[in-house]
Structure 1
Amino acid sequence: MINSLLMWLRELLPLVMLLSFALAWLQPGLRALLLPVLLQTALLLLPAWWFLDPLLSSLDGMGLDWSYCLLYVLGTTALLVAARYSQYRRRALSLSITVLCCIHLLNLSLFGSGLLHGDSQWQAIATGTALALGINGSIAVLWYYLLLEVSVPCRWIWRLVLALLCARQAVMAVTFATQLDVINPGPLLWDTERWLNESSELGYLLQALLGYEATPSLAQLLVFLMASLAVLLWMREGSDEG
């Protein structure tokens, strides 16, 4: 039960944070935002599921990592477009949400296929899944209304949260790029594992919002700062902030 609970929390929290933010910021209506997301996700995931085995074995077993890296780059670019060009915000946000849907649904499908080949207790798995869905749903509602309440006295909250969400996807892209030896991560800057574990409740929340790492590298920190500053500066220049 614990494994399935943690898996669902880790995979759904980033999606929940971004989706709730988009709904609160743009107020497009759930159907107007989710319909293009569902269509785009289906178009990307159906071929991925069909060719999942070749994808896992391609490029010396790193095919899936390459796919995730490119998807995170796409998601980061979409959020930068949302920050800079107000006329494309809804489409850019839906694309970034689609990216997270594809990544995390693929992870969940791999997790589920692993359970099918193991001696798992289905009652415990179902209980953990139900608990995780309830927790994620509660966080989605709380995050949505918190953003709406805070945005009344502090309209800059949209800019700040978008900067963090964009930086988070950029950090994830760098993480996969370093695993693929595409870039040099540089030295590790600090270790906060003893004070804030990545697998704790707060660790999961911070990882979903800003890509928290207990042992970040220099490359991760630089990319985080560049992505967040780009959003902050570009939205300041824009005439319409949402």
Structure 2
Amino acid sequence: MLITSLVMSLNQLLPVAILLILLQVIAKQSLLRLLGMLGLGIGLTFLFVKSAPIISPWFDYQGLEYTQIGLCILIFFSALHYAVKRATAAFIIAIMSVMTLYLSHYIIYLIGFWQSNEAAQSLFIGTFLGLGICSSFSVLLYFLLSAIKQRFGLSSILLLLALNSAAKLVVALDLASQIDVIATTATVWDLRAILTENSEFGRMLRAFIGYEATPNLTSVLSYILSSVVFLSVCYFIPKSMAKEQS
């Protein structure tokens, strides 16, 4: 139970931390604003979990899946808007959306096992260790990405943000295939012999850029296309704005 709680906490916390660091490196937000936003995000996550029984019956009992798909799309466009405009509202929407998307799973997991006296201690220790590891990773990642930005420029961070945001659309496609909105396509390649998603590095890559060892054709095409669109908007919109101002 301890290992399961640790792995579960890392799986749900890392995507939130990575997106937060990427956006923070692009343009810093104040510590007070970050703390307030995180508190609001936690509150919104609990509200989402509490509202799950109401949302679930929507759309022929596919309401939760459609809501999660909407959150994935919202993350992509709010991250893109922040990358272009540096709007604080876009930063808040992106982080609160990713917190609701991922932390809701972990809260449901905690609620399911917290009532058991035998599991409570393991859940607490696993969560505490997961938070510690995620916090340490976030600090190191922030300084690493700041150094990369200083050495190679903002474009390198925008590339990472584009890949991270594109991965959220792939998650949306996976959810859509689960409820038969889109058909599942054939697997393009199988990299499990090289790197599995369940390994330590595989989990980190999955949280960072959406790594999949066995992606299907729809996921690959969507990932490439959305990444190209993200980077194209980040390149052309500021240039057109600069021309208009000159």
Judge same fold: TM > 0.5, yes or no: yes
Following TM superposition, by how much is the alpha carbon of 1:31 offset from its aligned partner in structure 2, in angstroms? 2.0
Q: After the TM superposition, which of the residue ranges 215-224 and 1-10 deviates more from structure 2? A: 215-224
How far apart are residue 177 of structure 1 and its match?
1.1
Find 1:148's aligned residue among 123, 146, 153. 146
Whether 2:23 is the aligned partner of 1:18: answer no
Q: How many residues align?
A: 237
> Structure 1, residues 21-41: CA drift from partner, whole Å, max 9, x if none?
122220122223443454366
Do the aligned partners of 1:198 and 1:212 also contact (CA within 8 Å) in 2? Answer: yes
**Which segments of 5 or more consecutive residues in structure 2 lack a partner in the other structure?**
240-246
- Number of the residue aligned with 2:111: 113
- State the TM-score, normalized to the length of structure 1: 0.88
Pairwise CA distance, 1:221:
0.7
CA offsets per residue over residues 162-211 of structure 1, 9 Å max, x none? 11121111111111111121122321111222321211111111111111
Q: Tell me which of the two structures has the higher relative contact order, counting C-alpha pairs closer than 8 angstroms and 6 or more residues apart.
A: 1
Distance in 2, Cα, partners of 1:87 & 1:16? 19
Partner in structure 2 of residue 166 of structure 1:
165
CA distance in structure 1 between the partners assigned to 2:116 and 2:78 by the alignment? 38
Q: Which residue pairs with 2:130 in the alignment?
A: 132
What TM-score, normalized to structure 2? 0.87
Question: Percent same amino acid at aligned positions?
Answer: 30
Matching residue of 2:65: 65
> For residue 181 of structure 2, what is the aligned residue in structure 1?
182
Change beyond 3 A, Cα 1:124–1:46: closer
8 Å Cα contact 1:198-1:213 kept in structure 2: yes
- Structure 1: unaligned runs, 5 residues or longer: none
Amino acid at match of 2:26: W
- Secondary structure at the aligned position of 1:95 is classed as helix
- The answer on whether the counterparts of 2:41 and 2:95 sit within 8 Å (CA) in structure 1 is no
Alpha-carbon distance between aligned partners in 2 of 1:49 and 1:27, rounded to the nearest angstrom: 30
Which one-letter code corresponds to 2:102 in the other structure?
H
